[in-house]
Amino acid sequence: MEISKEKLLDLYSTMVKIRLFEDRIVDLYARGLVPGLAHLYLGEEAVAAGVCGVLREDDYITSTHRGHGHVIAKGADLKLMMAELFGKKTGYCKGKGGSMHIADMKIGILGANGIAGGGIPIAGGAGLSIKLRKTDQVSVGFFGDASSNNGTFHESLNFASVHRLPVIFVCENNKYGISVSQAKHQAIKDIAIRATSYDMPGVVVDGNDVFDVYGAASKAVSRARAGEGPTLIECKTYRWRGHHEGDPNQGRRYRTTEEIEEWKKKDPIPRLAERLLEQKALTKKKMASIEAKLSEEIEQAVAYANESAFPSIEEMFEDVLVKG
Amino acid sequence: MRELTYAQALNEALKQCMQEDERVILLGEDVGVYGGIFQVSAGLLGEFGPNRIIDTPISEAGFVGACVGAALTGMRPVAEIMFIDFTTCAMDMIINQMAKMHYMFGGRGQVPMVLRTNIGAGRGTGAQHSQSFHAFFAHTPGLVVATPSTPHDAKGLLIEAIKNENPVAFIEHKKLYIEKGDVPEEMYRIPFGKADVKRQGKDLTIVATHAMVLRALNVANELAKESIDIEVVDPRTIVPLDKEAILESVKKTGRLLVADEGPKTCGMAGEIAAMVAEEGLFYLKAPIARVCSPDTPVPFSPPLEKAYIPDEKNLLPAVRRLMEYA
């Protein structure tokens, strides 16, 4: 499909933003500034950028434990994100959520989610809400290959299908559920075939090719906005790092270095950059300036997080219930 | 005043809320043409149509999760889970999603949904359709837990639950659905955390929930003949719990019996007893007693089930024992 030059630059910029953000977290995590868990999105940037690149600000997403890419692509504020990852009171969740719970209702982020498969029914419910409110919004549920074995996946596809809800189910098949390979956790190779059971389109795309992702997402979103119902998109991709930053040897206990290196050759960012350079939609100089600008934004976010205070102990007791 | 059954009172609450606010929807198994397993949604499909009265697949995690998503995005969904036993199929959605989002997102996002379900043995439905584990939900910060015992309270609490911005576990009792009582025709809200003294007395306090309220009142009326004057306090919501009302009553009577149909161990009765032990021990002139279900699964055979259910046969001797302390 034809993608405008502006959109291509936008997709490129989003992917680089996610890459630089996550690279920075590698360093900050190692230095002990990011407590708890950090499940990084490195290598999968084309999926979040390609899908969210089709969405409007008022469309919804539900994300996963590996959610930084999704929320950045949906427009999350890096300062608030970084402060949250640091556990600071100025963070998205006032320091009470952390990396796995970034949410911003104003831009349709219904929350990253610490439970594998937990966000899928919630995306379906947002779809129900859209249908009943009669708007032309859409809802996207991101999840991984292993979550496609969870009941919530099947229950949500069934529900969205029977009510023709405007939902796009986006499976990021990165080949592993923590350490368990796809071959060990399911007998099928293409998760998209599960769409057949729910009478909806199921498409497989190269998750490291943003054109492919964007194209499939555009089709699914148009279909959803037109009231024609849900779609399942399976994006074949790979995470470069371990399941999380504390994963021993970055996941080499269950993956070979060769396999990781093989996938790094399919890095989605240079693949897009090469095409943009060929089409003269981008120059090396422009690439450098995009990167410099984004690096600056990330450094400002780190400074903001560093300078912010931790929550006071009293704040632990706030927001348990809505007041009034 | 006009009498309605508990089920009719809940039905009227739903109906009035749905007439007033088109964001209110009901999802559940057999809530449509069937009218709900206990007829709480009878007639609503005809008035509000299938977009708002949604017969769901047998898929508790799916539709409770859908309610969470709908609530986050501007709707006010009510989910009906046929029996509390079936909430286990949706526990992630209830415990990790519905209850957590407001807090874990630092106040960004609200989940104004109601999860209606029911507890209670006594219908011969065995170990998977008769449990009373409402205390599970009270043990999960982030949820309001309502426990109506009368038609009046059922209507007022359900209207409050639907209009409230918090996620509410609304726990009905299946033996109460056919009980009748006075119910005002207009809409009214019963605030959460306000206990109701169902009977005034000076000798002994029974804090009772759900059907235990009726059983406690029966015992109180029986023992009034012996000049034992029992006060029955119904918390109406176990989260938030009206500690003040309970402590005030215990201060007056000096004796406390807590009656709750959950299994005794780690149940709501134990929680209320512990609260009074911590905050009102010196008001007491007798040990605290609990009348609860035994720590067994609910048995099927009628004589076993009858023995299992905590009721007047358990309350009477418990009261008499406490009255032995001067």
Domain boundaries, chain A: 5-308
The conformation of residue A252, written as its DSSP 8-state character, comes to: T
CA distance B297 to A279: 70
Low-confidence ranges of chain A (pLDDT < 70): 324
pLDDT at A247: 87
Judge contact between B96 and A115, C-beta under 8 A: yes
Higher per-residue confidence, B287 vs B1: B287
- The answer on pLDDT for B11 being more than 80 is yes
Domain A5-308 is found in CATH 3.40.50.970: yes
Interchain pair A129, B75: CB under 8 A: yes
Packing angle of the helix pair A284-307, A5-30 (nearest 10 deg): 40
Q: Locate A18 and state its tokens.
A: 């996610």
- Whether the Cβ atoms of residue A163 and residue A128 lie closer than 8 Å to each other: yes
User: What's the confidence (pLDDT) of residue A248?
Assistant: 84
Q: What is the DSSP string of B168-198?
A: EEEEEETTTTT-EEE--SS---PPTT--EEE
Residue A249 confidence (pLDDT) = 87
Helices (H), B105-210: 134-138, 151-163
Q: Are A24 and A298 in contact (CB under 8 A)?
A: yes
For residue B325, the SS3 value is coil
Q: Which two tokens stand for residue A131?
A: 């249908």
| A:B CB pairs within 8 Å | 150
E strand intervals along B209-303: 230-234, 237-239, 256-263, 289-293
Q: What is the pLDDT of residues B249-300, one digit of tens each?
A: 999 999 999 999 999 999 999 999 999 999 999 999 999 999 999 999 999 9
Q: Residues of B at the A interface (Cβ-Cβ below 8 Å)? A: 25, 51-52, 54, 56-57, 59, 61-75, 77, 92-93, 96-97, 101-110, 141-142, 144, 164-166, 240
B111: closest chain A residue by CA: A322
Task: Decide if B106 and A127 are in contact by the 8 Å CB cutoff.
Answer: no
CATH of B196-323 given 3.10.20.30, 3.40.50.920, 3.40.50.12280, 3.40.50.720: 3.40.50.920
CATH assignment of B3-182, among 3.40.47.10, 3.30.530.20, 1.10.3330.10, 3.40.50.970 = 3.40.50.970
Contact B124, B302 (CB under 8 A): yes
Catalytic-residue membership of B102: no
Counting residues of chain B whose pLDDT is more than 90, the rounded percentage is 99
Mean pLDDT computed over B42-66 = 98
**What does each C-alpha distance from A322 to B140, B165, B197 come to in angstroms?**
15, 6, 27
Specify the pLDDT at position B3: 98
Looking at residue B270, its pLDDT comes to 98
Q: Does residue A205 sit in helix, strand or coil?
A: strand
Q: What is the mean pLDDT of residues B110-114?
A: 98
- For an interface test with B, give the residue of A90, A129, A156, A323 to mutate (most B CBs within 10 A): A129
